[in-house]
């Protein structure tokens, strides 16, 4: 029953509003009308699926997936891992995750990025993977650098990795960003601070995970992503004060 | 046990690196193939159409860094019936005028919903991806629940693509302003 029913509503108390004037780009890109509510139909309950056949062997290793043979990206070596879950804490298996990020100096490999930090010839900055039956994912990369961005002041992004997440239904589609525990830019960043609830920001902050850190090799960071569930437990959440 | 939904964050101006790598300038990433370049496998039956348009901001200027995703039923009204990702596509708007172009098959109605293509819009300045729909001006819309729910005809018209030529439809997206597109909380 709960595997087929509608997805729980988006919890707008946890989501950033469209208009967030301190994040300047939202001013002319935020719709001013209220969103129209919808009863989910066949097209909301289904969505595209992706098999292992679309994933290459190095797609989840950004250290080498753009590098010359035998070479590696420059930067602090890390592994990011965690679970893609729904609100009922159930795994979201066989879901495509895509990630992209700046290099260790804070520069993106993108036609439009002209920040003074140099490109790393061995770093492309993108990767992807498919969650396993437990919703688990992991990838290797270098820790991205913070960088300045034009927002009217002296604004710097905290180090972050962008995530694109597919679930099992079109309504679960999500793009978000992962931050790193202890980054002093998190409370200063107008993009992070579009999120009204400090706990929701904490949940986007990956934790150093010494248990999975490999001595003399790389540090691990743990990051779970939670998509909308179905067979609502939202009411229970509300009673718990979330 | 329950968990709270992860918050959305903007896709930012460099979304292409992760989602349409060739547009970012990483032409050889993933074997040079961007996911979602083709919406259906080549042998799926249906009437071929081309939907195209532009994305605009509240000042009427084109949005040059948006990424659009599309999800639709096939010509028999079924979702997900043509391979694992058949019916889904992705486009980066162009960097000159915010234009997109989707070559697809005309979808059929599904249940009481009139034929439409679902669109998801992300970009710098969009904190939470925006859902909307493309309906077709020369197809019956019946009692489609979304269109019926929009009382203002001007607002309703923002979801209707205009036929243009033999197989073309024009559908612009206005994020804000007098022509603001109706966006949907799915």
pLDDT in tens, A198-209: 999 999 999 999
pTM: 0.96
Q: According to the model, what pLDDT value does residue B1 have?
A: 72
Domain definitions of chain B by residue range: 15-174
Q: Is there a domain that residue A160 lies in?
A: yes
- The distance of A17 to chain B (nearest Cα, Å) reads 7
Chain B contact for A241, CB < 8 A? no
Neighbours of A172 (CB within 10 A): 22
Is residue A238's pLDDT more than 80?
no
Residues of B in contact with A16 (CB under 8 A): 7-9, 127-128
Active site residues of A: 108, 147, 157, 160, 162
% of chain A residues with pLDDT over 90 = 93
Is a pLDDT exceeding 90 seen at residue A234? no
The count of structural domains within chain A is: 1
Closest in B26, B111, B125 to A29, CB measured: B125
Residue range of the domain that includes A101: 43-239
Q: Label residue A42 by pLDDT band (50, 70, 90).
A: very high
- List all residues 6 or more positions away from A44 whose beta carbon is below 8 Å from its beta carbon: A6, A7, A38, A169, A170, A171, B186
Q: Which of residues 10-69 of A touch B (CB under 8 A)?
A: 10-11, 14-18, 20, 23-33, 35-44, 46-51, 54, 56, 59, 65-66
Burial classification of residue B154, based on how many CB atoms lie within 10 Å of its CB (0-12 exposed, 13-18 middle, 19 or more buried): exposed
What is the least distance, in Å, from the CA of B128 to any CA of chain A? 7
What's the whole-number average pLDDT of chain A?
94
| pLDDT tens digits, B31-42 | 999 999 999 999
State pLDDT tens for residues A95-144.
999 999 999 999 999 999 999 999 999 999 999 999 999 999 999 999 99
**Given B13, B58, B73, which is nearest A43 (Cβ)?**
B73
Instruction: Give the number of other Cβ atoms within 10 Å of residue A199's Cβ.
Output: 11
CB A205 within 8 Å of CB A181? yes
Report the CATH number at residue A165. 2.60.130.10
Are B17 and A36 inside 8 Å of each other by CB? no
List pLDDT tens digits, range B128-170: 999 999 999 999 999 999 999 999 999 999 999 999 999 999 9
Of B129, B150, B176, the CB nearest to A173: B129
Q: For residue A35, give the nearest of B11, B86, B183 by CB distance.
A: B183
Residues of B in contact with A89 (CB under 8 A): 1-3
Task: Express each pLDDT in B13-72 by its tens digit.
Answer: 999 999 999 999 998 999 999 999 999 999 999 999 999 999 999 999 999 999 999 999
CATH topology of domain B15-174: Protocatechuate 3,4-Dioxygenase, subunit A (2.60.130)
C-alpha–C-alpha distance, residues A146 and A144, integer Å: 7
CA distance A74 to chain B (A): 18
Domain assignment present for residue A92? The answer is: yes
Strand pairing class (B117-122; B99-105): unpaired
Model confidence band, residue A241 (pLDDT cutoffs 50, 70, 90): very low
């Amino acid at each position: 029953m709960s595997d087929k029913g509608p997805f729980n509503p988006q919890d707008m108390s946890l989501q950033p509003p469209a208009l967030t004037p301190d994040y300047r780009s939202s001013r002319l890109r935020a719709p001013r009308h209220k969103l129209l509510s919808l009863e989910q139909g066949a097209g909301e309950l289904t969505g595209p699926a992706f098999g292992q056949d679309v994933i290459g062997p190095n797609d989840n290793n950004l250290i080498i997936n753009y590098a010359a043979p035998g070479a590696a990206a420059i930067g602090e070596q890390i592994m990011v891992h965690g679970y893609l879950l729904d609100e009922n804490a159930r795994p979201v298996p066989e879901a495509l995750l895509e990630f992209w990020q700046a290099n260790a100096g804070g520069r993106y490999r993108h036609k439009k990025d002209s920040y003074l930090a140099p490109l790393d010839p061995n770093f492309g900055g993108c990767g992807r993977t498919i969650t396993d039956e437990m919703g688990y994912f992991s990838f290797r990369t270098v820790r991205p650098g913070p960088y300045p961005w034009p927002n009217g002041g002296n604004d710097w992004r905290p180090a972050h990795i962008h995530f694109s997440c597919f679930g099992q239904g079109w309504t679960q589609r999500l793009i978000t960003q992962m931050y790193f525990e202890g980054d002093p830019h998190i409370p200063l960043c107008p993009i992070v601070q579009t999120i009204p609830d400090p706990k929701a920001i904490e949940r986007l902050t990956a934790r150093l995970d010494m248990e999975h850190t490999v001595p003399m090799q790389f540090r691990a960071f743990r990051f779970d992503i939670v998509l909308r569930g179905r067979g609502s437990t939202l009411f229970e959440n509300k009673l718990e004060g979330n | 046990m329950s968990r709270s939904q992860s918050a959305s964050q903007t896709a930012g101006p460099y979304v292409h690196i992760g989602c349409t790598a060739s547009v970012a300038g990483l032409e050889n990433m993933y074997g040079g193939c961007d996911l979602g370049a083709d919406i259906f496998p080549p042998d799926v039956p249906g009437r071929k159409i081309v939907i195209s348009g532009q994305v605009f901001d509240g000042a009427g200027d084109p949005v040059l860094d948006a990424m659009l995703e599309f999800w639709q039923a096939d010509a028999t009204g079924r979702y997900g019936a043509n391979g694992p990702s058949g019916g889904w596509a992705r486009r980066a708007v162009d960097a000159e005028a915010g234009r997109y172009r989707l070559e697809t098959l005309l979808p059929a109605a599904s249940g009481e919903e009139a034929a439409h293509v679902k669109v998801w819009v992300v970009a710098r300045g969009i904190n939470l991806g925006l859902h909307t729909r493309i309906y077709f001006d020369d197809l019956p819309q019946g009692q489609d629940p979304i269109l019926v729910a929009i009382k203002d005809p001007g607002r309703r018209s923002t979801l209707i693509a205009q036929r243009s030529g033999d197989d073309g439809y024009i559908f612009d997206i206005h994020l804000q302003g007098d022509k603001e597109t109706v966006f949907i909380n799915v």
